[in-house]
A and B are shown apart, each in its own frame.
Chain A
Amino acid sequence: MLKIEQVEIGHKSVLLHVNSLHLHPGRMYVLIGRNGIGKSTLLNTLMGRITALTGSIQIQGKELSSYSKKELSKMVSLVRSTFTGIENLSVNEFLTLGRTPYTNVFGTTQAQDSFIVNEVIQLLRLEYLSGKFTTQLSDGEKQLATIAQVLVQQTQLVLLDEPTAFLDYENKWKILKTIKQCTQENQLCTIFSSHDLEMAMDIADYLLLINPLTKEIKQFGANEMTKQELLAFCFPNL
């Protein structure tokens, strides 16, 4: 699904580097590292918004840089945790906008588009929200809605930038379980960054850890490590 080989990431100077990472569909990866180390930069690089300084990033066997914006919008999506709701935009309209990459030049939606929207609504059990306006949602519901919109977009690679930030304990679990469920059922490859270490270790299949000394991203199985080892790897100054 996603192959990263000998890649250096950063805006102008190198922030992070990756020797070799192969990520597969149907698996959930959590990205852990201290603040400012370049987690968002990595996600933005995978989105194609920042070009990697060196090396090769391939999605489905094709170089990231050779994708057009339109093609990329059907392949990768990024969820941020900053959605605050938009006035006069209903949840249904909000979800339907996720179909934008597939509609014609006038944005006309087909029966198939509303079918997919309804499917996602059922999958996440959001029926009770669909008539509401996005400004009326609670923080947890807003986060669920953004995830739902990305599912409607049907990209196989889904990146989530701290999807659990600002949420209470119950909502954190709910969001992560939802992501896990969708990852397995739809064979997605999901990468999410998080500072909720215990939860992330519990629910993710693999850990992508950033060592601040070597500035390198390494992949570990979620069961391979204890929390102490993880802390020692990611936060050696602790």
Chain B
Amino acid sequence: MKVRLYERFTIFLGLLLVILSLLHLQSGEVTISFSDAWNALFSFDEQNQYQVIFRELRLPRTSISLLAGAGLSIAGLLMQTFFNNPLAGPSILGVSSGSSLFVALALMSGLTLFTSTFGIITAAIIGAFIYSLLLLLFSSFVRSNVSLLIIGIMLSSFTNSIIQMIQAVSDVNALKAFTIWGFGSLQQVNYNQLSPIMICFLAALGMLVFLVKPLNSYVLGEDRAEQLGINTKRVKTMLIICVAVFTGLITAYCGPIAFVGLAVPNIVKLLYKTCNHWYLLTASAIVGALLLLFCDLIILNLESFIQVPLNSITSIFGAPVVIWILLKNNIHVKD
């Protein structure tokens, strides 16, 4: 009975996502016909302006909005379950800033090996991976949820200062590019970059399937999960890789997007009221994609008046969620 309700609701969210994606694809100065959109993909004609707009601007922007929303929300949920902390998320705990640092270093190096698409993705993922490991290390020393949060915030302030120092010695163009990137943006991706991004994303999703069962038992605490026969060492490694790929990939192309990874899983838990990660992961991915599409639609519609940075919109949604969680959990902060 209940299961059917969950499934129906998820299907409803999925349909909503399709509608919003189509709306997002059609938002902008010109309207693109279906045949142009089709031809842009399967028999591309460079002379046709509409096809160029669709292929080079609209499609990458919608796709990356979907991937970024889904990826960051999944990463956030993984971290929340793993750290047993509703306040965890890739941006707030500094994993995104780890990616940023490594991207900045890669760009600064000026070596073509590092500044290529492949180089940047790799750098961002490695940065996220190292910062996740750091968090794992810190989390074994602190017992309270709020302490871990503060450590995360300090970690990102620390890293951001280093990034600013790197910026200070880089030239004006690099500085401008990096500043825009830091606001968070869904416009930096082009058509050719979509497939490597998609491949990494799908690989991480493939790994995620094997994490669902461990995550469900991690809800009971690592100790009990181990008692139930879960190989915690392997799970930890897989989980950090997943978080690093999702966070790194998105951060490399869209900049450090704030709050999505933290807020979305909490909204999903509120809606679904379950700890079954099959539902939580699917719904987080869908709701995350919905939220980011929605934020970007706002940006697109305000474009003719003002240029709003993505991060200011996501923060307007996200920051109140953090306050709400703190108020809700005030009674039983862990230990």
Contact = CB atoms under 8 A, between A and B. Distances in A.
B143 interface: no
A86 B229 contact: no
Given A88-B269, A106-B209, A93 B274 contact: yes
B228 A100 contact: yes
A88 B273 contact: yes
Interface in B194-227: 209-210, 212-213, 216-217, 219-220, 226-227
For B219, B230, B272, B273, the residue with the greatest tally of chain A CB atoms inside 10 Å of its CB is B219
B231 interface: yes
B142 interface: no
Contact of A69 (B212, B229, B272): B229
A101 B229 contact: yes
Contacts of A72: 229
Interface string A85-119: 01111100110011011010111000000000000
Interface string B262-299: 00000001001111100000000000000000000000
A227 interface: no
B229 A70 contact: yes
Given A89-B219, A105-B210, A106-B212, A100 B273 contact: no
Given A84-B332, A89-B219, A107-B216, A74 B273 contact: no
A151 to B, nearest CB: 14
Contacts of A86: 219-220, 275
A45 B276 CA distance: 31
A47 B228 CA distance: 11
A78 interface: yes
Nearest to B232: A69
Interface string B227-243: 11111000000000000
Given A86-B220, A88-B269, A88-B275, A107 B228 contact: no
B213 A74 contact: no
A107 B212 contact: yes
A73 interface: yes
Interface string A41-58: 000000101000000000
- Size band of the B side of the interface? 20 to 34
Contacts of B230: 69, 100
B107 to A, nearest CB: 40
Contacts of B219: 86, 89, 97
Contacts of A193: none
B209 A73 contact: no
Nearest to A49: B226
For B219, B226, B228, B274, the residue with the greatest tally of chain A CB atoms inside 10 Å of its CB is B228
B213 to A, nearest CB: 3
Nearest to B214: A107
B227 A78 contact: yes
A107 B213 contact: yes
A42 B28 CA distance: 68
Contacts of B210: 105-106
Contacts of B269: 87-88
B229 A100 contact: yes
Contacts of B226: 49, 69
Nearest to B274: A88
Interface string B71-110: 0000000000000001000000000000000000000000
Contacts of A98: 228
B213 A100 contact: yes
A70 B230 CA distance: 7
A109 B64 CA distance: 35
Given A84-B332, A100-B213, A74 B220 contact: no
Contacts of A133: 273
A70 B213 CA distance: 14
Interface string B319-335: 00000000000001000
A193 B48 CA distance: 79
Interface of A: 47, 49, 69-70, 72-74, 77-78, 84, 86-90, 93-94, 97-98, 100-101, 103, 105-107, 133, 153
Interface of B: 86, 209-210, 212-213, 216-217, 219-220, 226-231, 269, 272-276, 332
What 10 pairs between A and B have smallest CB-CB spacing? A73-B229, A107-B213, A100-B228, A101-B229, A89-B275, A70-B229, A88-B273, A100-B217, A73-B228, A88-B269
Given A78-B227, A105-B213, 9 more contacts: A72-B229, A74-B229, A77-B227, A93-B274, A97-B216, A100-B228, A106-B210, A106-B212, A107-B213
